[in-house]
Amino acid sequence: MEILEYINWNPIHKFNIWKGITIHIYSLMFIISFILGWYIMQYIYQNDNINCKYLDPLLRYTFFGTLIGARLGQVFFYDLSYFSSHWIEAILPIKENYHQSLFGIIKGYEFVGYRGLSSHGAALGILFSNFLYKKLVLKEKSFIWLCDRICIVIAISSMFIRIGNFFNSEIIGKPCKFPWAVKFLQMDKEYGKMIPRHPTQLYESIVYLITFITLWVIYRKTKRFNNGLTSGIFFIFVWFSRFLIEFLKEPQGNEFINFYHLNTGQCLSIPLFCLGIFLFIFSIFKEYSI
């Protein structure tokens, strides 16, 4: 009897809601992450005696910071050569398409959603937008106080985003022969023959889930919730794992940042990992100084 050596992955990308209205699974994961994040932050604000009237502005600032930062990160870090000649696609969630008509080939646009998003750009966008939120809305707390709590939400949200990438058969891994290798049947043809590959999206989603559980336990069990502790652990876990998993990924887009055989994702992860080390050490010294 033939043994199945890999997983055939041929999912649907979207499903119909009502009368031709569809939603992409990636977009659904994005929505779930924000809804779940809102409830987690509601619990945190109530637990820390913060008025929940500040939650709606936090959602807006974080949503736009994530979307704008992630999109700009994709444009400038990964696909600048493409978007420089397709600038409207960098701004709007559409993609050029061409179809035959009685008058010849006509150029048009198709709504595809913001599928090209950079996690490094999202990280920078969230930091900037939450800095503005702290300055303009939640003035009574420090920026690091906010980061220590919002990173808990970002960890679980990132897990859902990577699951969305898995459904889209994007950010795929390099070929491998492990029993859990996945053959992405809807994969882009740019990588050639469809063969079993590392499910790197799932690798990252598992790391993000572990990170969320770790941060949540620290928040709930630590008597003295140090300034910078959870932020430091978040940056260390997420960006060190990202650095390692990048070795198993195929190149994304037109990467132009390369240094000593390190790709764009790895080069961008190093400073964020170093930031995590700094925050972690800072939180320890602050603990002993109190």
- φ/ψ (deg, to 5) at 50: -105, 135
Which residues on adjacent β-strands are paired with residue 84?
Answer: none
Is residue 91 within 8 A of residue 75, CB to CB? The reply is: no
Q: What percent of the chain shows pLDDT beyond 90?
A: 46
Q: Specify if 96 maps to a domain.
A: no
pTM of the model: 0.84
For residue 2, is it within any domain? no
User: Predicted confidence band at 8 (pLDDT cuts at 50, 70, 90)?
Assistant: confident
* Full residue range of the structural domain in which residue 144 is found: 7-79+116-289
Instruction: Please list, in sequence order, all residues whose beta carbon lies within 8 angstroms of the beta carbon of residue 247, skipping any fewer than 6 positions away.
Output: none
Tokens of 216: 């949540």
Closest CA to 42 of 28, 53, 31, 29: 53
Residue 189's SS3 state is helix
Quick check: 94 and 110 in contact, CB under 8 A? yes
Q: How is 248-284 classified by DSSP, letter by letter?
A: GBPP-SS----BTTB-HHHHHHHHHHHHHHHHHHHHH
pLDDT at position 276, please?
A: 95
Q: What is the mean pLDDT of the chain?
A: 84
Q: Does residue 100 belong to any structural domain of this protein?
A: no
The secondary structure element, H or E, covering residue 111 is: strand 104-111
**Burial class of residue 192, CB neighbours in 10 A (0-12, 13-18, 19+):** exposed
> What is the mean predicted confidence (pLDDT) over 159-181?
90
In this prediction, residue 239 carries a pLDDT of 96
| pLDDT for res 137 | 94
Q: Which residue has the tokens 């063969």?
A: 195
Q: What is the pLDDT of residue 221?
A: 84
Q: Is residue 260 part of a domain?
A: yes
pLDDT tens digits for range 38-63: 999 999 999 999 999 999 999 999 99
Residues 140/134, Cβ–Cβ less than 8 Å: no
- Per-residue confidence (pLDDT) for residue 1, from 0 to 100: 36
Q: Which of 159, 187, 180, 203 is nearest to 11 (CA)?
A: 187
Task: Name the more confident of 94 and 214.
Answer: 214
Determine, yes or no, domain membership for 75: yes
Classify residue 54: in a domain, yes or no. Answer: yes
Q: What is the mean pLDDT of residues 200-215?
A: 96
For position 2, what pLDDT does the model report? 42
Query: 110: which strand partners?
Result: 95
Q: How far apart are CA 98 and CA 210, in angstroms?
A: 44
Query: How many domains is the chain partitioned into structurally?
Result: 1
Q: Is 13 helix (H, G, I), strand (E, B) or coil?
A: coil
Residue 162 forms part of a structural domain: yes
Residue 84 lies in a domain: no
The band of 214, judged by pLDDT with boundaries at 50, 70 and 90, is very high
60 touches 137 (CB < 8 A): no
| pLDDT tens digits, one per residue of 115-139 | 667 888 899 999 999 999 999 999 9
Instruction: List Cα–Cα distances, 87 to 64, 95, 107, in angstroms.
Output: 19, 11, 15
Question: In the Cβ-directed half-sphere of 247, how many Cα atoms lie within 13 Å?
Answer: 4
Residue 238 has pLDDT above 50, yes or no: yes
SS3 216: helix
At 17, the pLDDT band (50, 70, 90 cuts) reads confident
